[in-house]
Structure 1
């Protein structure tokens, strides 16, 4: 059996060895980032100081729902200048949380958004909308991660519970998440992003075209036009400050 001295001579000092990431590890964010940078072919998150290493992704339970939601949300982004969309972006949220949301929609910082891109190219601060695909209500997406997003001021949080064939769309009110109402037709409308309408029945049956048809009237609404105008005015005001 090789001794510690033998291993040290072969692989360098043991203190220089970076341990692998493992689900359940309790780490600080700097230590999580150090181990993540050294990892290979691993996707992991830090949620409330606990590491979660993602397992292989199943198509029907995650890959396809992710693609459907990305198509729907990207359609809104393309029609709404002043917003920004992201897929699996690392999010430096606080000292104990560095998740990788499945999808996010944010207001550009030049237009008054709460999140920004730091010097290393990572998102920092709370995006206005975070979207996650979860297996069921047992998922940490609806427990520890939900609390982390709530505490850090993510204004809206959308979760597709795939095994339950259900959506939960939360809005932050006075420090608490409350569910947005669902119409009889199965449509949920964002409060923060005017015109962002989700046809839950269409997405549950995998019909992205129908979901976009439901979204289009929202994009054509007066509320959406006013929102776009407000974002443009905020950007102009911010640019004028930079020119001084």
Structure 2
């Protein structure tokens, strides 16, 4: 038997002895099985369970995702610096319900609200007050299945930056349904949940982080 043939046979035998299936895009799972397969799939760096369906993330590009992500973290980090009761996390797994375990780009919640807690194994449990997504290739479910799950679970505000469309969607929960905020005449969006959390939309879309920070500082 050649070395190549032996190697292939070894891989087949190893695969046949695997007791936990790999986590695959499109799998339909509950939360417990999702976590079991995720833990057994070390090559998967980011996956989400949205309305019972698994979404495995693609590699992230710099311009449509990584850089916008950094700009929003800067904005929210400044707000947190002035509100010590807040906690912010980047890409945390959030246990919402049996069919939903998202891994949002950013979450922010009040540490003393009792709505969100950190489990013994280190995951967020419950509904953060604010969830933020940078949506490049994921708009199809960020604004549909994921939005529905956040709405149903009582996430109070949900901000989506559609970087290819150069649009910001900021939804707030009212009477159990999301309503989209509209900017004022200066292009500013204002949170209803967090007093003084103001976003200069034109500045953000133009990459002017300094102006975004200045608008927030003026409102604090």
Tell whether the structures are fold-level matches, with TM greater than 0.5: yes
Alignment of 1:57-136 (within 5 A): 57-108=60-111, 111-135=112-136
Alignment of 1:143-154 (within 5 A): 143-154=144-155
Change (3 A) 1:215 1:65: same
Ranges in structure 2 where 5+ consecutive residues have no aligned partner: none
Quick check: 1:106–1:113 contact (8 Å CA) kept in 2?
no
1:51 and 2:58 matched: no
Shift of 1:22: 1.1
- 1:187 match: 188
- 1:18 match: 20
Shift of 1:181: 2.1
Quick check: 2:134–2:163 contact (8 Å CA) kept in 1?
yes
Higher share in helix: 1
User: Aligned residue pairs: how many?
Assistant: 212
Shift of 1:176: 0.5
Q: Distance in 2 between matches of 1:183 and 1:156?
A: 18
Q: Distance in 1 between matches of 2:138 and 2:179?
A: 16
- 1:205 match: 206
SS of corresponding position for 2:97 = coil
Q: Distance in 1 between matches of 2:70 and 2:42?
A: 25
Quick check: 1:202–1:211 contact (8 Å CA) kept in 2?
yes
Q: Distance in 1 between matches of 2:43 and 2:201?
A: 33
- After the TM superposition, which segments of 4 or more aligned residues of structure 1 sit over 3 Å from their partners? 9-14
SS of corresponding position for 2:87 = strand
Quick check: 2:134–2:161 contact (8 Å CA) kept in 1?
yes
SS of corresponding position for 1:164 = coil
Show CA shifts across 1:188-224 (max 9, x none). 00000001000111111111111000000221xxxxx
Q: Distance in 2 between matches of 1:182 and 1:169?
A: 10
- 1:235 match: none
Shift of 1:41: 3.3
Quick check: 2:139–2:162 contact (8 Å CA) kept in 1?
no
- 1:168 match: 169
Shift of 1:19: 1.3
Ranges in structure 1 where 5+ consecutive residues have no aligned partner: 220-244
SS of corresponding position for 2:164 = helix
Quick check: 1:91–1:98 contact (8 Å CA) kept in 2?
yes
Change (3 A) 1:46 1:179: same
Q: Distance in 1 between matches of 2:84 and 2:43?
A: 34
Q: CA RMSD in A?
A: 2.1
Show CA shifts across 1:164-207 (max 9, x none). 11101100001110011201111100000001000111111111
Q: Distance in 2 between matches of 1:137 and 1:96?
A: 18
